[in-house]
A = this chain, B = another copy of it.
């Protein structure tokens, strides 16, 4: 029996995770689950999965959950550090890390430092602190298994191969809602346009990242760390159908791809089962959806975020932190109606330009850069 902690339990990745965990009552036991403030959903999950401990960042929500769960004997903790505390209190074998944004960094680092397997749905952890996380994982022997569909695909394609045999990674991108939008018209994009994603259903922040293709920029950086390949070896391909989740070209010219109809449960199930494959009755081959697949190069003019991703994957240092923080601030401003769509990537570029970088930063420097980049982005946006 493998013990599991689910961090970010009430979000969309959490939903997929619990769907898969319901298939695995004999092999996986949930020992802790953490979320921000959705106590109603958390109580429902806790009653179903009976963890030892539940954590909620929001203290009022935690109070309500504590009351509701009192008869069950499930402990409820609260406050900003619930994720790390939950890991320390319940020592899981596997940590499904799905807290979005910079908030997921500390618990991801704690996971690999403890030697638990990090099933990583939070890109920011690697984008910001890839140096610290990969080093801590190497030291403890912790596995890092990606949970987003692209990196899971790459991970599966590389599995069983020598890492030096990789020549190129083709990171596929749906292209988002604006892949065919006239290049000069991105200033006019409204939030409601950008929130309509053609193939994947996701949270609001990540849907905007998909529309700017900033998600691919962050994924380039993530791939740089996960697979230890140079920035130049990572190419983005627009693949509108989201069926081929990514591809790897080996030095002998062979290409391996992982594919299937889009569902978050596939990478989640892969990560929870790894290194085994856990059986499911679901199939993700649907001949209708496979009937016409296409690949095309992305347009760097429409999507300036992509060049930023490559630049960061080359530079590393604090640039990932700056890119991510500036993007978070700019996306929030865009969703609030406070800035234009095209200024999201522009703001990120300006913040990167203003960054005083440090090679191989420590956590303190990363968090300081994160705070600085947020202020700098706010300044840029207010001009």
Contact = CB atoms under 8 A, between A and B. Distances in A.
B249 A285 contact: yes
A260 interface: yes
Interface stretch (A155-163, A189-197, A366-374): A155-163
Contacts of A260: 253-255
Contacts of A157: 256
Contact of A255 (B159, B161, B249, B258): B258
Contact of A257 (B250, B259, B297): B259
A253 B293 contact: no
Contacts of A252: 266, 269-270, 273, 277-280
A162 B276 contact: yes
**Copies of this protein in the complex:** 2
A166 to B, nearest CB: 9
Contacts of A293: 292-295
Given A292-B292, A294-B291, A162 B277 contact: yes
A170 B237 CA distance: 24
Given A237-B287, A251-B278, A292-B293, 14 more contacts: A157-B256, A161-B277, A165-B276, A167-B283, A170-B285, A251-B280, A252-B280, A253-B280, A253-B282, A254-B260, A255-B259, A256-B256, A257-B258, A287-B297
21 contacts: A156-B256, A160-B160, A165-B277, A237-B287, A249-B283, A250-B277, A251-B279, A252-B273, A253-B280, A253-B282, A253-B283, A254-B269, A255-B258, A256-B256, A257-B258, A287-B297, A290-B294, A290-B295, A291-B296, A292-B292, A293-B293
